């Protein structure tokens, strides 16, 4: 697995609202996406996954405010820079050409009155005006073919395509400028499970051919276990565990990750008993003290309600590829 970073999110904080009214939705998140990897980000609804994706690409709508941290992008063969320091013009270029994002419900954002090929051509024209007309058409056709839209469907209007095909078009649009990073925020929830798996499998295959990195956001951990290289788990705006997918599946260390794994049926391998996680996610206006998971945690003890656990390499595993934020014996960080 390549270890070179492509995006380093460091001590990142996001608030909703200002002054006394502000609530913190992202709390001191540090997360690295490596070149060529698929990194999964999982957590229940409200854990902060979308806020993080919007924040790092500086697409956060008000009342969201980035209240601290940096996001260092490493262009191939060039000097790294902080996305937080880019001018609006630089940002526009960064967003499509270096990073592209497929947000929730994006498949419904295709313009209903234009053919899909026309919409793809518009993206290419806007960002690569130097390309000739025929070269643009060739690029659009090649990309649609890559994502599995056959030549006879290229001139279809969005309503003539199934949900799965519209999703493929969105993925094609996200890839057409050959970005280094693709962020997908739960792009497949409106589709059935079989279709979700097909689209993810295709994305992983395209990643192998085109070499981009993927940050894939979902609440369905079983999908990530199957398709991502590493997984980060979010709870209450913090990363609470990070591990290679296989390690997380076999040996999750955070009680919240364990609960999430038991909330979804495994797509492959032995069946697990499904139980879900009792209680509800925390309210940003009244975050529990100490470990914010303590009111729901079956293993909570005294220290959990007073001290915030630090994310770090757990004593008992001493594996630099793993980190967890929990006070249980053996899971506290190596000093």
Site residues (CB under 6 A) for ligand SF4? 254-255, 291, 293-294, 297, 299-300, 304, 309, 326-328
| 43 contacts ligand ATP (rule: CB under 6 A) | yes
Report if residue 105 touches ligand ATP, rule: CB under 6 A: no
Site membership for ligand ATP, residue 45 (CB under 6 A): yes
* Three-class DSSP category at 325: coil
Looking at beta carbons only, is 197 or 296 nearer to ligand SF4?
Answer: 296
Per CB under 6 A, 280 contacts ligand ATP: no
Which is nearer to ligand ATP, 46 or 179 (by Cβ)? 46
State yes or no: residue 40 binds ligand ATP (CB under 6 A): no
Among 49, 139, 166, 294, binds ligand ATP (CB under 6 A): 49
- Sequence-distant (6+) residues with CB within 8 A of 276 are 259, 262, 263
Q: Are the C-beta atoms of 33 and 80 separated by less than 8 Å?
A: no
- CA–CA gap between residue 23 and residue 335 (Å, rounded): 31
Stretch that binds ligand ATP, among 44-52, 115-123, 204-212, 315-323 (CB under 6 A): 44-52
**Partner in contact with 321, chosen from ligand ATP, ligand SF4, none, beta carbon below 5 to 8 Å by kind:** none
291 binds, among ligand SF4, ligand ATP, none (CB under 5 to 8 A by kind): ligand SF4
Strands 38-42 and 238-244: unpaired
Find out whether 279 and 295 touch, Cβ atoms under 8 Å.
yes
Give min distance, CB of 220 to ligand SF4, in A: 21
Angstrom distance (rounded) from CA 175 to CA 43: 26
DSSP SS3 for 297: coil
Nearest CB to ligand ATP, comparing residues 256 and 327? 256
Are residues 67 and 13 in contact, defined by beta-carbon separation less than 8 angstroms? yes
With CA atoms as reference, report the closest residue to 26 among 43, 38, 39.
43
Q: Are 116 and 154 in contact (CB under 8 A)?
A: yes
Considering only residues 57 to 86 of the shown chain, the ones binding ligand ATP according to CB under 6 A are 63
For ligand SF4, the closer CB: 38 or 328: 328
Measure the CA–CA gap between 292 and 204, rounded to whole angstroms.
34
Of residues 43 and 255, the one with the C-beta less far from ligand ATP: 43
Q: Which of 33, 37, 39, 46 binds ligand ATP (CB under 6 A)?
A: 46
Three-state DSSP at 266 gives: coil
List the beta bridge partners of residue 9.
31, 71
- Which of ligand ATP, ligand SF4, none does residue 25 bind (CB under 5 to 8 Å by kind)? ligand ATP
State the binding partner of 46 from ligand SF4, ligand ATP, none, CB within 5 to 8 A by kind: ligand ATP
66 half-sphere exposure, CB direction, 13 A CA radius = 22
Contacts with ligand ATP by CB under 6 A lie at 16, 25, 43, 45-51, 63, 219, 284
């Amino acid at each position: 697995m390549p270890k070179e970073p492509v995006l380093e999110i460091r001590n990142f904080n996001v608030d909703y609202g200002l002054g006394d009214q502000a609530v913190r939705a992202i709390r001191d998140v540090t997360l690295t996406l490596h070149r060529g990897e698929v990194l999964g980000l999982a957590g229940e609804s409200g854990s902060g996954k979308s806020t993080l994706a919007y924040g790092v690409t500086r697409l956060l709508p008000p009342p969201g405010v980035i209240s601290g941290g940096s996001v260092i992008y490493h262009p191939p063969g060039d000097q790294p820079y902080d996305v937080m320091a880019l001018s609006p013009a630089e940002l526009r270029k960064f967003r499509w050409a270096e990073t592209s994002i497929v947000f929730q419900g994006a498949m419904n954002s295709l313009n209903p009155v234009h053919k899909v090929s026309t919409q793809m051509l518009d993206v290419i024209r806007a960002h690569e005006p130097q390309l000739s007309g025929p070269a643009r058409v060739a690029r659009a056709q090649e990309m649609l073919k890559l994502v599995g839209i056959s030549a006879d469907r290229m001139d279809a209007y969005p309503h003539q395509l199934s949900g799965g095909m519209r999703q493929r078009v969105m993925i094609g649009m996200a890839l057409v400028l050959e970005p280094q990073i693709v962020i997908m925020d739960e792009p497949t929830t409106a589709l059935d499970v079989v279709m979700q798996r097909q689209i993810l499998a295709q994305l992983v295959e395209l990643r192998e051919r085109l070499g981009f990195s993927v940050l894939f956001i979902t609440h369905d951990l079983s999908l990530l276990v199957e398709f991502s290289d590493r997984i980060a788990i979010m709870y209450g705006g913090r990363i609470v565990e990070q591990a290679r997918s296989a390690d997380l599946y076999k040996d999750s260390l955070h009680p919240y990750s364990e609960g999430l794994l038991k909330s979804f049926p495994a797509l492959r391998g032995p069946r697990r008993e499904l139980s879900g996680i009792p209680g509800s996610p925390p309210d940003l206006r009244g975050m529990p003290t100490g470990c914010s998971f303590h009111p729901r945690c079956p293993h909570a003890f005294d220290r959990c309600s007073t001290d915030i656990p630090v994310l770090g390499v757990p004593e008992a595993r001493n594996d630099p590829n793993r980190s967890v934020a929990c006070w249980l014996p053996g899971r506290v960080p190596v000093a």
